[in-house]
C-alpha cells in the first residue's frame, strides 16, 4: 500500500521550500512581523508616497511654487488648481508638494545629527561606565531639562535663519532621547556573552562596539529614529510657523499655515490652512503608526 498523499502535503512542501530560501536574521524576522501589522503597513505606504513626492515634486505638478497669478486669488478647488490658490494666486497643491521636500530633507538631516551625537555619547557612556557615564549622562540630563521647543527656538535664533542652522538647532535639541536609547541598548548588549567571547579573542573596544553591541541594539534605535523624524517634521513646521524655520519663498507646511491664518475669516481661503494642516497631520500620523509597528516588531518580549 502506498503512502497517503494529500493536497495539504503539497502545500506544506511548497511553503517549506519557500521558507528555506529566505534568509532569517533578526531584521528579516522583524520585517515579517511588521508585514502582518496592517496599520503599520498603511503608515509605511504613506511614508513611501511622501518620500517619492518629496524627491520628485516636479512629476506631480506643472506649476512653479513661486509663480504668482493675480487673476485668480483665493481660487476654489478646481481641475486647474486641485487645492485652489492662496492670497498671491500661487497653486496650493504645488506648494504643499514642494514643502514636503524641505521638511523631509531637514528632518532626516537633523535626525542624523542627533543620532550621530546621541549614538556616540550613549555608547561611550554605556561602554566605559563609571565616571564617563556619569559625566555624559548628567550633561544629557541638563540638555533634556531645557524644554526642547524652547531650546530649538533659541538655537535657531542664535545660529541665524539658514537651513543649516535649522538643522543643527533641531539636531542638538533632540540629542537626549537618542543618547538614552543607545545607552540602554548598548548596556543590554554589553552583558551578553558573545561580547565576553570576542574580548577573549582579542577584540579591541572599537571592534566590540561597532561589530557586536551596535548591531545588536539596532531595533530600539530604528524605532526611536522613526518617532524622531515625526517629531522633527512637527518641529520644523512649528519653527516655520513662528517665522524661524524655512524662509519664504520656499514653501513649508508650518509657514503656509501661518500665512493662511490671517485669511481664515474669509470663507473661501480655507484651503490655505486646512491643506497644509492635513499634510502635517497625515505624515506625522503615518510615522507614528509605523514607529509603533516597528516597536512591536522589534520588541523581543512580543516574539
Partner 1 sequence: MENLLQIKNLTVHYNMETSVVEAVNDISLDIKRGETLGLVGETGAGKTTTALAIMGLLQKARAEIISGEIFLNGESLLDKSAKAMQKIRGDKVSMIFQDPMTALNPVLTVGEQIAEVVRLHEKCSRAEAAARAKEMLETVGIPSYRYKEYPHQFSGGMKQRVVIAIALACSPDLLIADEPTTALDVTIQAQVLELMKEQIQKRDMSVIMITHDLGVVAEICDKCAVMYAGEIVEYGTVEDVLDYPTHPYTRNLLNSLPSIDGEIKKLQPIEGAVSDPTNLPPYCSFQNRCKECMERCTEGNPKLVEVAPGHWSKCFQHYKESEAEK
Q: Which residues bind partner 1 (CB under 8 A)?
A: 23-27, 130, 192-194, 196-204, 207, 211-212, 215-216, 218
As measured in angstroms, the least distance from the Cβ of 213 to partner 1 is: 10
Nearer to partner 1, 130 or 267 (CB): 130
As measured in angstroms, the least distance from the Cβ of 24 to partner 1 is: 6
> How far is the C-alpha of 11 from the C-alpha of 16, rounded, in Å?
9
As measured in angstroms, the least distance from the Cβ of 299 to partner 1 is: 15
Nearer to partner 1, 8 or 200 (CB): 200
Question: For residue 253, which of 238, 267, 264, 265 has the smallest C-alpha distance?
Answer: 238
**Helices and strands, counts by H and E, the chain:** 14, 0
Assess contact for 255 and 245: CB atoms under 8 A: yes
As measured in angstroms, the least distance from the Cβ of 129 to partner 1 is: 9
Place of cell 577584540: 203
Nearer to partner 1, 31 or 56 (CB): 31
Nearer to partner 1, 102 or 181 (CB): 181
> How far is the C-alpha of 147 from the C-alpha of 142, rounded, in Å?
10
In this structure, what C-alpha cell is assigned to residue 60?
506631480
Nearer to partner 1, 15 or 261 (CB): 15
Place of cell 514636503: 100
The neighbour count for residue 261, using CB atoms within 10 Å, is 13
**Containing H/E element for 108?**
helix 92-128
As measured in angstroms, the least distance from the Cβ of 152 to partner 1 is: 35
Amino acid at each position: 500500500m502506498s503512502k497517503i498523499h494529500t493536497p495539504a502535503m503539497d502545500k506544506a512542501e511548497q511553503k517549506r521550500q519557500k521558507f528555506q530560501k529566505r534568509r532569517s536574521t533578526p531584521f528579516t524576522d522583524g520585517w515579517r512581523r511588521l508585514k502582518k501589522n496592517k496599520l503599520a503597513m498603511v503608515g509605511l505606504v504613506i511614508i513611501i508616497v511622501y518620500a517619492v513626492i518629496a524627491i520628485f515634486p516636479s512629476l506631480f505638478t506643472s506649476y512653479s511654487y513661486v509663480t504668482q497669478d493675480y487673476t485668480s486669488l483665493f481660487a476654489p478647488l478646481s481641475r486647474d488648481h486641485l487645492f485652489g490658490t492662496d492670497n498671491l494666486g500661487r497653486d496650493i497643491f504645488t506648494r504643499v508638494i514642494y514643502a514636503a521636500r524641505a521638511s523631509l530633507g531637514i528632518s532626516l538631516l537633523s535626525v542624523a545629527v542627533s543620532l550621530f551625537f546621541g549614538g556616540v555619547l550613549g555608547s561611550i557612556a554605556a561602554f566605559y561606565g563609571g565616571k564617563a557615564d556619569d559625566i555624559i549622562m548628567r550633561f544629557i540630563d541638563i540638555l533634556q531639562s531645557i524644554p526642547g521647543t524652547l531650546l530649538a527656538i533659541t538655537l535657531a535664533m542664535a545660529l541665524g535663519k539658514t537651513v543649516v542652522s535649522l538643522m543643527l538647532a533641531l539636531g542638538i535639541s533632540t540629542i537626549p532621547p537618542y543618547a538614552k536609547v543607545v545607552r540602554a541598548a548598548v548596556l543590554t548588549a554589553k552583558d551578553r556573552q558573545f561580547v565576553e567571547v570576542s574580548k577573549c579573542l582579542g577584540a579591541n573596544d572599537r571592534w566590540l562596539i561597532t561589530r557586536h553591541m551596535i548591531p545588536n541594539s539596532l531595533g530600539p534605535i530604528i524605532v526611536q529614529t522613526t518617532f524622531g523624524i515625526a517629531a522633527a517634521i512637527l518641529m520644523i513646521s512649528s519653527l516655520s510657523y513662528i517665522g524661524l524655520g524655512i524662509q519664504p519663498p520656499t514653501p513649508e507646511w508650518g509657514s503656509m499655515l501661518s500665512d493662511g491664518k490671517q485669511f481664515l475669516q474669509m470663507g473661501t481661503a480655507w484651503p490655505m490652512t486646512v491643506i497644509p494642516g492635513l499634510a502635517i497631520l497625515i505624515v506625522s500620523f503615518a510615522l507614528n503608526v509605523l514607529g509603533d509597528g516597528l516597536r512591536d516588531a522589534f520588541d523581543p518580549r512580543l516574539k
